[in-house]
Structure 1
Amino acid sequence: MAQFETSRRSLLKAGTAAAAAAIAPAAAHASENDKSVKFDGEYDVIVVGSGFAGMACAYKVAKAGLKVLMIEKMGVFGGNSAICGGNMACPVNPVQKAQGIKDSEELFIADCLKDGLGINHTELLDVLYRRGNDTVKFVTDCGAEFVPNKMLFEGGHSVPRSYEIKAGSGSGYIVPMYETLSKMKNCVMKTRTKFDDFVLDKDGRVTGVVCREGYRFNRKLASDDVENKTGHRRVYKARKGVMLAAGGFSRDIWFRQVQDPRVVPSTDSTNQPGATAGVLLKALEIGATPLQISWLQFLPYCNPHEDGFGVTVNFTNHACMDLGMVVNKKTGKRFMDEHAGRKIKTDAELKVIGKDKNYPIAICDDSIVKAINPSFVKAPLAAKTVFVANTLEEIADHFGIKKDAFLAEVKRFNQFVKEGEDKDFHRILKFNNGLTISKPPFYGVEVAPKIHHTMGGLLINPEAQVISSKTHKPIPGLYAGGEITGGVHGASRLGTVAVLDALTFGMVAGENLAKA
C-alpha cells in the first residue's frame, strides 16, 4: 500500500540540494580525462544496463560488426525488463488490420497525451509509431514469441493495439535476446559491473566509462552507494560512444522521496532492488538535461499483501480491470472507469483506500478467467492472493463488502456490458465481447497501487542522443533509451508502451552508434 505521510519541510533542504545538483554545469564535475587515464580495454560501444533498451542497442551494434561491451551492476541480466508484464503496444500493426481494428498515429498519440497530461514530447512518440513494427520484427527475429492473432485492449488505449508475450513476462524478450547476444563473439556482457563515471575528452565528448568489476549490490546502501566500495576499478574506452540503459529509480529511497515527499521509505515498489538513480545523476553532472523527474507512476493492479511486483498483477489487470469490475467495499459500488489510464485509476484507488486501508475489491468470473491467458490465474491462486467462491454473496462476506449494494452493482454493470454503454463512468465496453460477471466460480482480489515507473529522466532527441542543458545540442558520444529518459510518456504512461519505448529507442541508439 502506498503511504503518503511525511512533512515537506523535512525534505526541503535535501530537495534544494538535489535541484542544485540537477542543474549544475558540467564544469563543476571532475570527470575522468581520457588523456590522463590508462584504459583497461577498448570497445566501439559501451552499453550501461541490460534490460530491453540495453540489449536492443547491443544487438544492433554487434549485428553491424562492431565490438560492444554491455555492463550490468546486478548479478543477473535483465533488470526490471525481465520481470515486467512484457506485453507490447504497437500502433497500426498487421494483426489489427486483419481483425478490422482501426488505429492511427493520431489516435495513438492522443491516447498517450491523455494519460500523460499533455506534457509528452510528441516527436518521441512519433518515433514509436514509425518504428513500432520494426521493433516487433526485431524481437521476433531474436526469438521472442507472441500469442498469435491476439490484440490486448490495455487500460487507457482507445483500441486493442498490444501484443501479448507468450512467456507472460518480459523474460520472453530478455532470454532470447541474451541467448542471441551470447552467440555473437563481438559482444561482451558483464554482470556485477557497476558504472561509476564517464571519461571525457577535452571537448566534452564521452569517450569511455569508469566502472567496478566484482561489485556486490547492497540493498541497505542502494540509495547511498558511495558507502559501497566493493569491486575493482576498470576503465574502458568507447570509440564511438556510450549508451545509457540503466532504467529508473523506483527503489532509490532517498532520491524518489526528494522528488515527491509524499512517498515515504515504506512505500512499496514493483521494481527489482537495483532500480536506483546513480547513472542518471552522473549524466546530470556532465550537463545532460533533466526532464520531468518528479513525476512518479504507480501501478493500480497490485496486491497489498505481496512484496514488490508479486504474482497477481497480470490477473488483476487483464481479468478484473480489462473485463471485470472494481468496487469500494464500504459502499459496494464501482468508483472509477476500470479501463482508464494508470494515473486516473491510481488516484481513484488512493482516495478510496485512505488512512484506514480500505482496499478496493476487483471482481471477475469464470467466463472471464477462461478468456484470458491461463498463466495469469495459476500463480495468484497458488499464492492465495485471489479468493474463489461459488456465489457473489460469498465474495461479499469474505471481503466485508456491503452486500445488497454490491449485488445490485454487479447486475447494473452486467446490463451496461449487454447494452455496450457504461452510464456511470463511460468505460469503453465494445471490446468486452459480451462477457459479464455471471458464471461461477467468482474471483475477488484486493488491490492497491505501488510505485512502478519513474516518468522523467534525461532529455533525448528522436535519434536517442542525450541533450546538453548548456548547449541544447547532443552531448557527443552519449545516447540513452528506456526508463532513464523522460518525455515519451509525460506525467503517466499507458500500459505496454514502455516495452515499445525501451526496445525501440535501444534499437535506434544502436543503429545510430553503428553509423557514428
Structure 2
Amino acid sequence: MVNQDIDVIVIGAGIAGLSTAARAAEQGMRVLLVEKMSAIGGSSAMSGGWFAFTGTEEQKAAGVEDSIELFRSDLRKVGAYRNNPALVEAYMENQFETYEWLRAKGVSFGEVEISSGQSAPRGHSTRIREVLQLLHDDFSAHGGETLFDAPVTALHRDAEGRVTGITISDGRQFTAVLGVVIASGGFSRSRELLSVFAPEQLAAIPYGGPGNTGDGLRMAWKLGAGMADMSAISGTYGSHPETTDEQQELLTSYYMGGIIVNVDGRRFVDESLDYKTLGSAVLTQPEALAFQIFDAPVRALSHRGIALKDMDTLEDFGHLPSAPTLEELADTVGIPAGQLVDTIEKYNDAVRGAGADEVGRTNLCNGVGDLRPIETGPFYAYPAKTLMTTTYGGITFTPEGRVTDVDGDIIDGLFAVGEVTGGFHGAAYMTGSSLGKGAVFGRIVAETLVRSYVGAVNG
C-alpha cells in the first residue's frame, strides 16, 4: 500500500518523535507517527523525567541564578568541548520557547535541582509519562495518525537519492511528500551494536526502551549517514544491581554529600564529575560495582518520587542498608571495615582542610556546593552499578535537523532527532539535556518541515 497524502512520517514515539509530530501536526501538516512497540514512550518513559532549561518561572521562584551563557558553558564543558557548537547554539536559541510550548500543552514542571554537568540548578522535574501522553493526545487532536506495532524495515529513495518513504514489517509502504524523521532512539538493547561502538559498556546493566536496538541508526547508516560521539558512549552510575525495567533505581547521593568506594572500601574517582564519567570509572572496578556511602544529613535530603534523590523508596525496597557505625555498615555490606573507616577519616580531614582530598574533589557537583564531613549516624551504603540508559551518540545532523552523510552533505528528505543523533552532547551529557534535546530539536525539525510545507503550498 502506498499512501500519497502524508506530508511527514515520524519514526518513533518517544519525547523526540512526539515533539516533532505534535508541532508539525499543529502547523497543519499531515503526519504519520510510526511506533515499533505497542505504546508510546520508548526510553523517554523510562527516564527520570528531567528537562534542562534556563530562564524559567520555576527557577525564578526558587531564586536560582542562571543564564544562557552559563548554560552554554556547562554544556560545552561536560561534553569536553567535543560537541558541535552549532548544535549547542541551536539548543540555546530554542530552549526557552520549547519550555513555554510544553507548558502551553499542559506540562507541569516541579522541583528544580542541580545535577550532573550543571553549575546552577536547571534540571526541571516532570512526570514524564504524563508529558508523553499530553503530547500524543495533542498530536491526535490535530489530526495526526499513529501506527503501533509497526517496525520500520527500510527507507525509500527516489532516483535523485531523496528519501521519500518507508516500508514497515508487514510489507506496507508509505510515502511522505516532505520527508521522513528518524526519532527511533538509540541502541542500548543491542549487544551487537554495543560490541561495535562501545564494547567496554557491555558490563553495564542494559536499560532503555525495549525497542532500542538501533533500527533507525542502521537504516541511516545504510544510506551513508555520518556518525558522531560514538566513542564517548557510557552508562550512568548509580543503579542497584537489581533495578528493573518496571522500577528503575538511580541515586546520586554523591552530589548531595556522599562519596563512592569500591568493594575494597577505597575511593577511586572524583565524585563531583558527571555521572557518565563516573559510569565509565565504575566499570573498571572489581565486580563493576561501587557503594555510595553517606550519613544521616544526606539521607534527610531524600524526596520521595523525585528521580535521583528518592532514598525513601530505595529503603522500602531493602536496597539501602544502614547501621549506627561505619564498622557495622561495612560488615553489613561486605566491605573491609578498617579500610572504609580509614577512607572516611581521610575524606573528613580533607573536608576540614587538614589535607588534600585523595581524588582531588573540591565540591559537591560540577564546581558547586561545599563538601561536608560524613560523621553523623546512622550511616548508609547504596550498592550501585552502571546503567546503560541511553546511547547518546549517533547520526550526524545539522542545526535544522537534516541528516548528513559521511562527507557532511545533506541526505535530502531525511531528518533525525533525539537519542539516535550524535554531535550535540560530545563526551558526556548534562542531566535534563537528553529529554531536552528531544523536545527542542523535535520542534526545530518541525519548523524546518513547516517552511518546506509552506513553500510547497505557495509554490
For the aligned pair, the TM-score class normalised by the smaller chain equals 0.7 to 0.9
Aligned to 1:369: 299
Tell me the alpha carbon deviations over residues 188-213 of structure 1, each in whole angstroms, 9 at most, x when there is no partner. Answer: 1121011111222322222221113x
Tell whether 2:410 aligns with 1:474.
yes
Aligned to 1:188: 145
**Does the CA contact (< 8 Å) of 1:304 and 1:447 recur in 2?**
yes
Q: Which amino acid aligns with 2:101?
A: F
Tell whether 2:42 aligns with 1:79.
yes
Tell whether 2:101 aligns with 1:144.
no
Match of 1:426 among 340, 345, 361: 361
Distance 1:492 1:211 in 2: 33
Q: Which amino acid aligns with 1:155?
A: S
Distance 1:86 1:328 in 2: 29
Aligned to 1:10: none
Distance 2:66 2:350 in 1: 25
Tell whether 2:281 aligns with 1:348.
yes
**Does the CA contact (< 8 Å) of 1:380 and 1:386 recur in 2?**
yes
* SS of residue paired to 1:512: helix
Match of 2:186 among 248, 263, 266: 248
Distance 1:434 1:62, change over 3 A: same
Distance 1:337 1:400, change over 3 A: same
Distance 1:374 1:414 in 2: 28
Distance 1:193 1:283 in 2: 18
Tell whether 2:23 aligns with 1:66.
no
The alpha-carbon deviation at position 369 of structure 1 amounts to: 3.3
Match of 2:271 among 331, 338, 354: 338
Q: Which amino acid aligns with 1:494?
A: M
Aligned to 1:494: 430
Distance 2:256 2:443 in 1: 31
Distance 2:295 2:134 in 1: 35
Tell whether 2:135 aligns with 1:198.
no
Map residues 8-407 of structure 1 onto 2, 5 A cutoff. 39-40=2-3, 42-97=5-60, 99=62, 101-147=64-110, 150-165=111-126, 167=127, 170-184=128-142, 186-212=143-169, 232-264=170-202, 267-307=204-244, 310-313=247-250, 316-317=251-252, 319-330=253-264, 332-353=265-286, 357=287, 359-375=289-305, 376-407=310-341
Distance 2:123 2:131 in 1: 15
Distance 1:144 1:64 in 2: 20
Tell me the alpha carbon deviations over residues 58-116 of structure 1, each in whole angstroms, 9 at most, x when there is no partner. Answer: 11011112221111111221100000111111244444455554434443333333332
The alpha-carbon deviation at position 308 of structure 1 amounts to: 5.6
Q: Which amino acid aligns with 2:123?
A: S
The alpha-carbon deviation at position 422 of structure 1 amounts to: 7.8
The alpha-carbon deviation at position 349 of structure 1 amounts to: 1.9
**Does the CA contact (< 8 Å) of 2:50 and 2:123 recur in 1?**
yes
**Does the CA contact (< 8 Å) of 1:82 and 1:171 recur in 2?**
yes
Distance 1:473 1:358 in 2: 41
Q: Which amino acid aligns with 2:121?
A: P
Distance 1:418 1:43 in 2: 65
Q: Which amino acid aligns with 2:316?
A: A
Q: Which amino acid aligns with 2:281?
A: A
**Does the CA contact (< 8 Å) of 2:4 and 2:176 recur in 1?**
no
* SS of residue paired to 2:112: coil
Between the two proteins, the alignment pairs up a number of residues equal to 445
The alpha-carbon deviation at position 296 of structure 1 amounts to: 1.9
The alpha-carbon deviation at position 155 of structure 1 amounts to: 2.0
Structure 1 gap segments, 5+ residues each: 1-37, 213-231
* SS of residue paired to 1:238: strand
**Does the CA contact (< 8 Å) of 1:269 and 1:450 recur in 2?**
yes
Distance 1:190 1:291, change over 3 A: same
TM-score w.r.t. length of structure 2: 0.87
Distance 2:181 2:77 in 1: 30
The alpha-carbon deviation at position 122 of structure 1 amounts to: 1.1
Distance 2:100 2:348 in 1: 39
Distance 1:85 1:479 in 2: 26
Distance 1:182 1:391, change over 3 A: farther
**Does the CA contact (< 8 Å) of 1:321 and 1:362 recur in 2?**
no
The alpha-carbon deviation at position 269 of structure 1 amounts to: 1.3
Distance 1:394 1:484 in 2: 46
Aligned to 1:454: 391
Distance 1:274 1:379 in 2: 28
**Does the CA contact (< 8 Å) of 1:201 and 1:207 recur in 2?**
yes
Q: Which amino acid aligns with 1:272?
A: G
Q: Which amino acid aligns with 2:71?
A: F
**Does the CA contact (< 8 Å) of 2:233 and 2:392 recur in 1?**
yes
Tell me the alpha carbon deviations over residues 199-242 of structure 1, each in whole angstroms, 9 at most, x when there is no partner. Answer: 22322222221113xxxxxxxxxxxxxxxxxxx21111212211
Q: Which amino acid aligns with 1:63?
A: E
**Does the CA contact (< 8 Å) of 1:40 and 1:234 recur in 2?**
no
Q: Which deviates more from structure 2 when the two are superposed, residues 90-99 or residues 497-506?
A: 90-99
Distance 2:420 2:22 in 1: 19
Q: Which deviates more from structure 2 when the two are superposed, residues 201-210 or residues 120-129?
A: 201-210
Distance 1:365 1:172, change over 3 A: farther
* SS of residue paired to 2:136: helix
**Does the CA contact (< 8 Å) of 1:42 and 1:236 recur in 2?**
no
**Does the CA contact (< 8 Å) of 1:154 and 1:339 recur in 2?**
no
Aligned to 1:465: 402
TM-score w.r.t. length of structure 1: 0.78
Distance 2:418 2:313 in 1: 28
**Does the CA contact (< 8 Å) of 2:83 and 2:425 recur in 1?**
yes
**Does the CA contact (< 8 Å) of 2:37 and 2:211 recur in 1?**
yes
The alpha-carbon deviation at position 415 of structure 1 amounts to: 6.5
Distance 1:77 1:422, change over 3 A: farther
Distance 1:347 1:473, change over 3 A: closer
The alpha-carbon deviation at position 485 of structure 1 amounts to: 0.7
**Does the CA contact (< 8 Å) of 1:311 and 1:380 recur in 2?**
no
**Does the CA contact (< 8 Å) of 1:105 and 1:126 recur in 2?**
no
Tell me the alpha carbon deviations over residues 36-59 of structure 1, each in whole angstroms, 9 at most, x when there is no partner. Answer: xx5145311110000011000011
The alpha-carbon deviation at position 508 of structure 1 amounts to: 0.8
**Does the CA contact (< 8 Å) of 1:312 and 1:379 recur in 2?**
no
* SS of residue paired to 2:206: coil
* SS of residue paired to 1:479: strand
